[in-house]
Structure 1
């Protein structure tokens, strides 16, 4: 498993909000180690036995937290992320619609502090049997040895569900986020899966826009020894029109399904034409 293990002790920023409280309960039900919550002005209270603090500084003094998951509105997300990055090893930003310049500032500070950031606009991370830091529905995942990386939450769910129904469990599923500026990218996750004893094969789920999948293909070709299969969404998307995610827009001849598929094929990665084909391609590799 990667990112999430028995040593991951998390706090929830925005734990008393509608999204924060709902998903905190779901994460606790999945045996995730949530040691604290942070909501300014609500310090001294608790939520389902989780103590709430006014600041991350206070939470760090009183608990062993080393990670955070952020459920705050976009306009407050930069300040929340900076506070987490200052104190913690890993920050998962669920929040959507964060301005690009704010995301750029967040990533620059994370690089400076050597903090892992996943997101923004991510469904999070799940390691079946260990826990989840995110918003994904847990019943569709099962323990196993296939790692999943995706820019899309819903496609993660669809393909993980297909894998589980086919008896193929997952080691860790990571949503890297669909925004143009994100913290952890495909290559960062591929490196971790390559080094992970619990992962034997990888599913890379991509979409139109940008060149992240092409860069990942180069890395796979040069560095990966474990088999990778892929699915790229957006086969029928018209150029210049944003599809779903802020980063999913074709500009010129780059960022198309065809260009990404060609790059992955050249790296020895088979690309499914439909999500339902991923299982068939994976079974040829494992």
Structure 2
């Protein structure tokens, strides 16, 4: 799920407004976008790459390592299944509001096929200096620069803010992993934490969580085994209980998934939990000092 230079990217929905804009930005940064999908424009060339009727047809001619989905909610299931059937190893699903029954089917099919789903409702993944896949401003060198801090975030906007602060602090990032804000996502906080723990370029980790769900508590179990330092910020500290806030997954019931529960679990695992996003960079500067 960490993008590496040279990995080939398929853009499903490449000819749409957003698909076109972000494909151009990905290419500008160095991402190897090699093909696109739009059944109505198959056989054409768009942004200098061939457009195919399906992912299956595309990969028959051009092997692809990742696919990114710029497809509306009601069509997303078919596009993702197409990528899975094409043998793509990782599918970055930007789309939100995909029907729950479709999401369940997608995850089941991906698991059987050994395909990694990032999202739904993710902003994407970034490896500064190499490329990005999605709608994060990976091309903006004021926000992203090569470094050794791995960043995990459910929120694209909060993740962008943290990366900006890390860059201004002179630290930079080894990778940004946007796991997505939906309640049923294919890559969890723990999954991302494990990936960054294995990554030799990552020396420390910034973990941005939110109230709702139990992903941070589950990630804390793995954090206990790690030697790499972790600093975390949990959004939603002042949110009222039993009320859905922001992302579809941000709902707290019975204390589990609440701010206090997440903070306690992380701190007991040795994670430095800060009160504001700005303090993430300060905490990690202390690690390097």
State the TM bucket, normalised to the shorter chain.
over 0.9
Structure 1 counterpart of 2:16: 17
**Match runs of 1:7-156 below 5 Å:** 7-87=6-86, 88-138=88-138, 139=140, 140-156=143-159
Structure 2 unaligned regions, length at least 5: none
CA distance in 2, matches of 1:26, 1:80: 22
In the superposition, the TM-score normalised over structure 1's length comes to 0.97
CA distance in 1, matches of 2:242, 2:100: 19
8 A Cα contact 1:194 1:226, kept in partner: yes
The total of aligned residue pairs comes to 284
Q: Give 1:284 shift.
A: 2.1
Structure 2 counterpart of 1:178: 181
Matched, 1:246 2:248: yes
Q: Secondary structure at the match of 1:41?
A: helix
RMSD of equivalent CA atoms: 1.0
8 A Cα contact 1:204 1:231, kept in partner: yes
CA distance in 2, matches of 1:6, 1:234: 36
8 A Cα contact 2:123 2:136, kept in partner: yes
Deviation string, structure 1 residues 200-220 (Cα, Å, up to 9, x no partner): 000110000011000000111
CA distance in 1, matches of 2:4, 2:136: 17
8 A Cα contact 1:91 1:116, kept in partner: yes
Structure 2 counterpart of 1:208: 211
Structure 2 counterpart of 1:277: 279
Structure 1 unaligned regions, length at least 5: none
Equivalent residue in structure 2 for 1:265, among 260, 267, 276: 267
8 A Cα contact 2:10 2:68, kept in partner: yes
Q: Give 1:25 shift.
A: 1.0
Structure 2 counterpart of 1:234: 236
CA distance in 1, matches of 2:2, 2:268: 29
4+ long deviations beyond 6 Å:
none
CA distance in 1, matches of 2:44, 2:264: 54
CA distance in 2, matches of 1:41, 1:227: 49
Q: Give 1:26 shift.
A: 1.1
8 A Cα contact 2:169 2:285, kept in partner: no
8 A Cα contact 2:56 2:85, kept in partner: no
Q: Secondary structure at the match of 2:201?
A: coil
Deviation string, structure 1 residues 73-115 (Cα, Å, up to 9, x no partner): 0001111111111121110000011122211111111100000
Q: Give 1:66 shift.
A: 2.2
Q: Secondary structure at the match of 1:213?
A: helix
Q: Secondary structure at the match of 2:57?
A: helix
CA distance in 2, matches of 1:5, 1:91: 15
In the superposition, the TM-score normalised over structure 2's length comes to 0.96
Q: Which region of structure 1 is more displaced relative to structure 2, 31-40 or 15-24?
A: 15-24
8 A Cα contact 1:100 1:180, kept in partner: no
CA distance in 1, matches of 2:90, 2:256: 32
CA distance in 2, matches of 1:194, 1:253: 29
CA distance in 1, matches of 2:66, 2:162: 27
Q: Give 1:190 shift.
A: 1.3
8 A Cα contact 2:217 2:262, kept in partner: yes
